[in-house]
Structure 1
Amino acid sequence: MQEFDHIQSLWQSHTVAVKLSSDEMLAQAKKEVNAMRNRSVLNIAGLGLSFLALASLLFFHFQSWATYAGIAVLLIAIGASIFVIYKGQRLISQNDFTTHPNEFLERLKAYQISRFNLHHKMYWIYTAALIIGTSLYFVEVLSYMDLWAQVLIVIFTPLWMILCSTFIRKAVVKKDMERIALLIEKFERLGSQFKEQ
């Protein structure tokens, strides 16, 4: 048993230094930055389509002011989210990281803070606005539906929000934060490699 422990300790103490060339690391970083930019653009586009779809509801005739108030709250929440995501997206797309790597690294760190705030502070404000807006909207709209549809919507909507706020959100936040931290680490290593050369 002692031999196994000795072999295991030798194995754990043995590290292999993987050296990537600066060109390979730059290519990986460029691919990841482009993926982040594309994800942000897709998020903005999706929220933009949601905004337009909800705004089109303003042209319907509703009896209750609560329905229009609910739509307005939802539009404000989506509009604010678009603004915050766009602001973050501009941080990583304003300059070319191949010509100004240190400036881009600083912007990437600011983007990391922006995403943290989006996932933690802004998310709960957005969720509260969605709950209020949806509740106000459903005050009138549910009255036009059959009882089985009302029950289904009243049960499904909170369950969906709870699922999104717990399991899905945690997975998305973890993956997003890890991706940004890894990219920052790559740029820091890339910068140190350029200093060594």
Structure 2
Amino acid sequence: MQEFDHIEALWAKAKHTVDVKISADDMLKQAKKDVNAMRTKSLLNIVGMALSIFAFASIWFWYDFNSIFAQLGISIVILAVLLSTYMLYKNHWLIAQNDVTENPNIFVQRLKLYQVQRHQLYNRLYWFYVIAISIGTILYFFEILANLKLILQFVIPILSFGWIILCSTLIRKAVIKREKERIGLLIEKFERISRQFKETE
């Protein structure tokens, strides 16, 4: 038993003394892969929002509204989604406009700005978005729900606003936390890459 403890102690010591050095090139490849994944996700968000604008706008073509409130409601929803899509595009442009391999320091600055703008997007703009969507949905429901069965007149608003509340609390917090960690790790990687490049010069 003592021999096993001795071997285990030697293994633990050897494990701590081995310093694995990753080259700046390998770190840069990994960081570039992470940035490309972030760019792709950002672009997919923009495409999803753009498709939802067309989906809401198509309601005008498929349904003949009798009330101006329903049309006003859809207009408010489309404007809110349009503004959010524009803000997402502005964020995307920050990380999409330059090559990460050219100057890691410049890219770190852009990532930090991207992080600040994403924080603003999930806090200030998000609440504007939720309030606008809620008002638009309420105005839209005035006409639509009147044509449905009584049970659906209760179920649809409850499910709709329940989903908005769920997105505004649990899902939003989880997304903010995950994105903050991901961008933070990426900033740390690029700062390490910059330091390694300076050391090799």
Using structure 1 for the length normalisation, give the TM-score: 0.90
Give the letter aligned to residue 151 of structure 1. Answer: F
Of 138, 141, 146 in structure 2, the residue corresponding to residue 138 of structure 1 is 141
- In the aligned structure 2, how far is the partner of 1:143 from the partner of 1:65? 14
SS in 2 for 1:61: coil
Structure 2 match to 1:54: 56
Of 163, 170, 193 in structure 1, the residue corresponding to residue 196 of structure 2 is 193
Structure 2: stretches of 5+ with no match in the other structure: 1-8
Structure 1: stretches of 5+ with no match in the other structure: 1-6
Structure 2 match to 1:39: 41
SS in 1 for 2:65: coil
Report 1:19-168 matches (<5 A): 19-59=21-61, 60-168=63-171
Q: Please give the root-mean-square deviation of Cα atoms over the aligned residues, in Å.
A: 1.7
Larger gyration radius, structure 1 or structure 2: 2
Q: CA deviation at 1:41?
A: 0.7
Using structure 2 for the length normalisation, give the TM-score: 0.88
Deviations 1:96-123 (A, max 9, x none): 0101222211111111111111111111
- In the aligned structure 2, how far is the partner of 1:17 from the partner of 1:141? 66
- The alpha-carbon distance between structure 1 residues 121 and 15, as it changes in their structure 2 partners (threshold 3 A), is farther
Q: CA deviation at 1:18?
A: 4.4
Structure 1 match to 2:180: 177
Count of matched residue pairs: 187
Identity of aligned residues (%): 52
- In the aligned structure 1, how far is the partner of 2:29 from the partner of 2:128? 38
Instruction: Give every structure 1 segment of 4 or more consecutive aligned residues whose post-TM-superposition deviation is greater than 2 Å.
Output: 14-19
